[in-house]
């Protein structure tokens, strides 16, 4: 389970922080922790303080959920059909991570806004957006 300590060593969100693109224009990701859309979608590099801590918490929980769900889905048809001990354990862990993500995104308006930002930044039809819609409600 994720805790605030897992993101506790990050700088607090500072809405005045910006990056600059190739032309020198300032880039911000969000104005407020409750924004439901990114001003500019963050890439792989996110400087400290440019996203609210809830965004980092949701991203970490989302990655854990994805990893454990994919691991459970990777079991063979036979393992799933006969519900082997290893499959049951993997399935249980995946459900635990899915439930944990749901609890996290429902724990505050800022966490709900973070999952909505992430989902809203995904392209339509890639599967991920559709799979995560239930977490945005």
Residue owning tokens 């993500």: 101
pLDDT the model gives residue 3:
39
* Higher-scoring residue by pLDDT: 104, 5: 104
pTM of the model: 0.88
Six token digits for residue 23? 């032309």
Summarize pLDDT for 72-112 with one digit per residue, the tens. Answer: 999 999 999 999 999 999 999 999 999 999 999 999 999 99
- Distance CA(107)–CA(29), nearest Å, equals 22
> Where are the chain's structural domains?
4-136
């Amino acid at each position: 389970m994720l805790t605030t300590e897992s993101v506790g060593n990050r700088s607090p969100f500072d809405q005045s922080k910006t990056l600059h693109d190739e032309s020198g224009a300032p880039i911000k990701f969000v104005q407020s922790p409750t924004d439901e859309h990114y001003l500019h979608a963050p890439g792989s590099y996110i400087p400290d303080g440019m996203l609210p801590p809830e965004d980092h918490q949701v991203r970490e929980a989302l990655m854990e959920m994805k990893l454990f769900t994919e691991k459970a889905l990777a079991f063979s048809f036979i393992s799933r059909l006969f519900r082997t001990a290893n499959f049951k354990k993997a399935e249980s862990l995946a459900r635990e991570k899915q439930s944990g993500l749901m609890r996290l995104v429902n724990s505050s308006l800022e966490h709900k806004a973070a999952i909505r930002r992430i989902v809203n930044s995904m392209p339509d039809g890639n599967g991920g957006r559709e799979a995560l819609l239930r977490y945005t409600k």
